């Protein structure tokens, strides 16, 4: 499930950002399956008025609440919020959030953190399972998808907005990562919503 972080309540986002792993093993499957059904029904409704959107938002936050509750109650041995590795991971993610439009290279983030690029990559792989490049790319293309879905900006305008100097390169990379061109992605989103 992929959603814009903006619609998740800040307390949940802050908690999840401190965690070191993107994989969640949830034991409260009944609660989650009920919430997933509600979210699915809401998403598939032919017309979603303002009350439906609020209900969908509430279900999504309830889903995230169950996930956060599971994490906080189990406290997996790999999750050490105060460890040096976790601090570096959290600092990287915060830097990424604020700089992804202008900084595209792992070396840029490593320099800001005063560590080597190799060490940053090692830390992220150890704590999240993914490389620095993966995180940068995923963050960029999540924002690209958000802009394609929620604005009428052209692919070229989005490329420039995200700091790409060559819109054709942006379009090729978007297709490589997502399997669709930017405009095909927008069309698919609009076809799904109605």
pLDDT in tens, 174-188: 999 999 999 999 999
More confident residue, 153 or 72: 153
pLDDT, residue 90, reads 93
**DSSP category for residue 101:** T
The CATH number assigned to the domain with range 80-194 reads: 1.10.10.60
Residue that the structure tokens 């307390």 belong to: 11
pLDDT, residue 102, reads 93
Question: Do the Cβ atoms of 109 and 96 come closer than 8 Å?
Answer: yes
171, two tokens = 């379009």
What is the average per-residue pLDDT within 125-139?
95
Question: Do the Cβ atoms of 162 and 140 come closer than 8 Å?
Answer: yes
The dihedral region occupied by 179, where left means phi > 0, alpha psi between -120 and 50, and beta the remainder, is: left
**Neighbouring residues of 125: CB distance < 8 A, sequence distance ≥ 6:** 131
What is the average per-residue pLDDT within 12-17?
61
Cα(101)–Cα(161) distance, integer angstroms: 7
Cα(111)–Cα(27) distance, integer angstroms: 40
Q: Where do the domains of the chain lie? A: 5-74, 80-194
Mean pLDDT of the chain: 81
pLDDT, residue 33, reads 73
Name the pTM for this structure.
0.63
Chain centre distance of CA 81: 20
pLDDT, residue 148, reads 95
The DSSP secondary structure of 36-90, one letter per residue, reads: HHHHHHHHT-S---HHHHHHHHHHHHHHHHHHHHHHHHH--TT--TTSHHHHHHH
Question: Do the Cβ atoms of 178 and 185 come closer than 8 Å?
Answer: yes
Instruction: Provide the pLDDT confidence category of residue 34 given band limits of 50, 70 and 90.
Output: confident
pLDDT in tens, 39-83: 777 666 656 666 666 766 676 677 677 666 666 665 555 444 558
80, two tokens = 């050490």
State yes or no: pLDDT of 104 exceeds 70: yes
Instruction: Provide the pLDDT confidence category of residue 189 given band limits of 50, 70 and 90.
Output: confident
More confident residue, 155 or 17: 155
Cα(180)–Cα(169) distance, integer angstroms: 14
């Amino acid at each position: 499930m992929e959603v814009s972080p903006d619609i998740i309540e800040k307390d949940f986002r802050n908690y999840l950002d401190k965690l070191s792993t993107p994989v969640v093993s949830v034991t409260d499957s009944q609660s989650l399956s009920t919430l997933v059904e509600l979210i699915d029904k809401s998403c598939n409704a032919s017309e979603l008025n303002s009350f439906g959107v609020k209900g969908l938002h509430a279900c999504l936050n309830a889903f995230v609440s169950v996930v956060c509750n599971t994490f906080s109650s189990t406290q997996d041995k790999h999750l050490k919020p105060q460890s040096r590795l976790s601090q570096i991971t959290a600092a990287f993610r915060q830097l990424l959030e604020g700089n992804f439009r202008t900084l595209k290279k792992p070396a840029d983030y490593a320099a800001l953190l005063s560590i080597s690029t190799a060490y940053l990559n090692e830390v992220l792989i150890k704590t999240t399972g993914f490389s620095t490049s993966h995180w940068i790319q995923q963050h960029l293309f999540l924002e690209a998808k958000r802009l394609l879905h929620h604005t009428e900006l052209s692919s070229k305008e989005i490329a420039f907005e995200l700091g790409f100097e060559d819109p054709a390169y942006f379009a090729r990379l978007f297709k490589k990562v997502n399997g669709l061109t930017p405009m095909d992605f927008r069309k698919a989103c609009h076809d799904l919503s109605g």
